[in-house]
A and B are shown apart, each in its own frame.
Chain A
Amino acid sequence: MKRTESLITWYGELTTRRHLLKRGGLFLVPGLLWLMLFLVLPSLVLVVVSFVTRGAYGELEWVFTIENYKRLAGFTLFGWTADYLLILWRSIVVAMVTTLISVVLSYPLCFFIAARSERNRYMWLTLVMIPFWTNMVIRAYAWFFILSPEMPFAKLAALLGCIPDGAPLYPNAFAVYLGMISMFIPFVTLPLYAGVERLDWSLVEAAQDLYASRIRVFTQAILPQTMPGLSVGIIFTFFPAMGMFVVPDLLGGAKYMLVGNLIQQQFGTSRDWPFGAAVSMGLMVLTMIGLQIYRRKGKEIQVV
C-alpha cells in the first residue's frame, strides 16, 4: 500500500490525520447515532407531519397541505381570528416579563449573597439551589395550593373585593406570573452569581469616583462584567418559559393559555398531531428568532 498521507504528531502520538479521524469516528458513532435517531430524525418527522392532514379519527393522512399553518395564522372556514396568534404573542410576552423580573430580582440577591461570609454564602446559595432542583410539578402545585380558597391570600383578596367569596386566586394571568417568576428566579440567579462573585469592584469604585450616576455605574461597570453569567441565565429562562406548560395549565387554565398548552392539547384531547406539529414549529421558529437576535448582540453562547 502506498502511503500518500504525511505523518503528524498529535499530542505525543505519531500518526496520520486519517488514522486519527477514523478513531475519532469510532468514538463519535454511539452518541451521535443516538442523537440522530431520537433527536434529529424525530424533529424532521415533526416538520413533515406539520404539512399532512388529520384523518377523521385523528390518524395521519399523507395528503400534503399548508392548512395547519393557515389555521395557526388564524384563517378558518368562518373568516380570520387572532386566537392562535394571540396565544403565541402572549407566550412571548409572558416569557419576556418573567425573564425581566427574574433578572431584576436576581441582581440584588446575587450582590447580597456575594457579600456574605464564606460559610453563609454556601448556605444562601444552597437555599437558591433547592428550588432550582425541586420538581416543577411540585412547585406549580405548591402555588396552586397557596392560592386556593381556604388559604389566607384568597380570603384577603375576597375581603378586598378583588374576587368573589370562596373563589381561588386562579386561573388568571396574575397566578401564571407568580408561578412563572418563582419558577425561573433560580435559573437566573445561579449563573448570574458566578459573574457577580468575580466582579472587579475597583471598576465600580472608579466609576463612582468619577461621579457616574447609579444607573451609569450599573450599565458601564457592572453589566458588562456580569454579561456572560447573565446571558446563560436569560437563555435558561426565556426559552423554557416560552414553552412552559405545567404552570399555565394549573394556574392559567383556559383563560390564560400559552403555546405549551396549545401543543399539549393537540397531542392530548384533540388528537390533532398535524396541527400540534405546526404549533410546535411556530414555537421552534420563535426560539430560533430569539437565539438569532441574541447572537447578533455578539455574545457567545456558552451554556455549561
Chain B
Amino acid sequence: MRRNHPLIIAVSYLTVVFLYLPLAGVAVFSVNEARRGTVWEGFTLKWYAKLFQNEWIMEAAWNTLLLAVISTIVATILGTILAIAIDRFPWKRRTSNYLDIILHIPVVIPDIILAASLVVAFGLLRVVSSIFEPGLLNMIIGHITFQIAFVALVVRSRLVAIGREVEEAARDLFASNWYLLRKVMFPLLMPGIFAGAMLAFTLSLDDFVISFFTAGPDSQTLPLFIYAAVRRGVTPQIHALSTLIMLVTVVLVVTTERITRR
C-alpha cells in the first residue's frame, strides 16, 4: 500500500467535510426543539412526527414514489429491448453510429433543454388531447425519456461483457429464438437489468428539473415541495423531510452496492 503525502490526506478530509457540512447542519437542526433560530433547545423527533400528519407531504411522497415506480418499469423494459436491438444485430456502421448518438443525447445534454422541449411539445399536443395537461402523466413520460437511455447503456455494457459464446452454444443445441431469449440471455442479463433499473429509479427520485417543468397543480413531488417551501422560509419540518430523504438515499446506495458487488 502506498503512503499518502500529508497534504493529500488533509485535502481529502477537508473535501469530505465540505461535502457533508451543509447536510450535517440540516440533520442536526431537524432534531432541535426550537422552531426558529439556531439555539439548541433540546432533542426532539416532533418535526418528523409532524411530517406524517401533513397531507401535502404525504401526497407528494406518494406522487414521487408512483412516478418513480411506473417510469422505472416502463423504462427498464424499453431500455433493455433497445440495448439488445442495438448490440445483437448486424447494423451498418452508420446506423449504429446514429443509434449511439440518440442514446447519448439525454446523458450529455443539460436536462433543462430536454425539459424545455417537453414543455413545448406537450403544449402543442394539448391542442389534440387534454391528457397532455401538465401533470403526472407528462412527468412519467419525461422521466421515461431520460431513463431509457441510461438503462440501455447499462444493459448494453452488460451485453458486451457476457459475450456471445453461450448464445452460440445454445444455438448449436437448436434453441429457438424465444427459448434463447428467455432461458439464456435473460438470466445472464439480469444483473445488468437490475443495475439499470436501480439507476433509473434513483434518477427519477433525484430529478427536479424535468418534474418542475412538466408538473401540474396536483402532481407535487417531494423535491418540488421542498423547493417551494424554501421560498416561503426555512422550517425545522423541511429539515426533517430533507434528512429523511437523505436517509432513504443512504439505504438505497448501500443496499445497491451490496447487491451489485456480490
Q: Is the CB of A141 within 8 A of B89?
A: no
- Within the complex, which residue of B7, B108, B208, B234 is in contact with A235, where a contact is CB–CB below 8 Å? B108
Residues of B within 8 A of A134 (CB): 23, 206, 245-246, 249
Closest to A132 in B: B253
Please state if B117 and A30 are interface contacts (CB–CB under 8 Å). Answer: no
In the bound complex, do residue A304 and residue B110 qualify as a contact, i.e. CB atoms below 8 Å apart?
Answer: no
Complex-state Cα separation, A30 to B102, whole angstroms: 14
- Chain B residues whose C-beta falls within 8 Å of the C-beta of A112 in the assembled complex: 4, 8-9, 11-12
Which single member of A28, A129, A141 contacts B82 (CB below 8 Å)?
Answer: A28
Q: How far is the CB of A24 from chain B (nearest CB, A)?
A: 3
Instruction: Judge whether A11 is part of the interface by a CB distance below 8 angstroms.
Output: yes
- Tell me the smallest distance from the CB of B139 to a CB of chain A, in Å: 12
Would A130 and B111 count as touching, CB distance under 8 A?
A: no
Chain A residue at smallest Cβ distance from B180: A13
Given A12-B170, A17-B90, A239-B109, also A148-B148 (CB < 8 A): no
Min CB distance B261 to A, Å, is 8
Tell whether, in the assembled complex, residue B102 and residue A35 are in contact, meaning their CB atoms are under 8 Å apart: yes
- Is A56 interfacial (CB-CB < 8 Å)? no
Q: B229: shortest Cβ distance to chain A, in Å?
A: 9
Residue A219 CB within 8 A of the other chain: no
Q: Is A75 an interface residue (CB 8 A)?
A: no
A38 touches B141 (CB 8 A): yes
Q: How far is the CA of A191 from the CA of B89 in the complex (A)?
A: 30
B15 in the interface (beta carbon within 8 A): yes
- Chain A residues with Cβ below 8 Å from B85 are 24-25, 27-28, 31-32
A residues whose Cβ falls under 8 Å from a Cβ of B: 10-13, 17, 20-21, 23-25, 27-28, 30-32, 34-35, 38-43, 45-46, 49, 105, 108-109, 111-115, 117, 122, 124, 126-131, 133-139, 141-146, 148, 150-152, 181-182, 185-186, 201, 235, 239-240, 242-246, 250, 260, 263-264, 267, 273, 276-277, 280, 283-284, 287, 291, 301, 303-304
29 A–B pairs (Cβ distance < 8 Å), ordered by A = A12-B168, A25-B85, A30-B78, A30-B82, A35-B149, A38-B142, A38-B144, A38-B145, A42-B114, A45-B117, A108-B7, A108-B12, A115-B1, A117-B1, A135-B205, A135-B206, A135-B222, A137-B223, A137-B226, A138-B26, A138-B223, A144-B234, A146-B25, A243-B110, A243-B113, A245-B209, A273-B119, A283-B113, A304-B150
Spell out B's residues near A (CB within 8 Å). Answer: 1-4, 7-9, 11-12, 15-16, 18-23, 25-26, 29, 36-38, 78-79, 81-82, 84-86, 88-91, 99, 102, 104-114, 116-121, 123-124, 141-142, 144-145, 148-150, 152-154, 157, 164, 167-172, 177, 202, 205-206, 208-209, 212-213, 222-223, 226-227, 230, 234, 238-239, 242, 245-246, 249-250, 252-254, 257
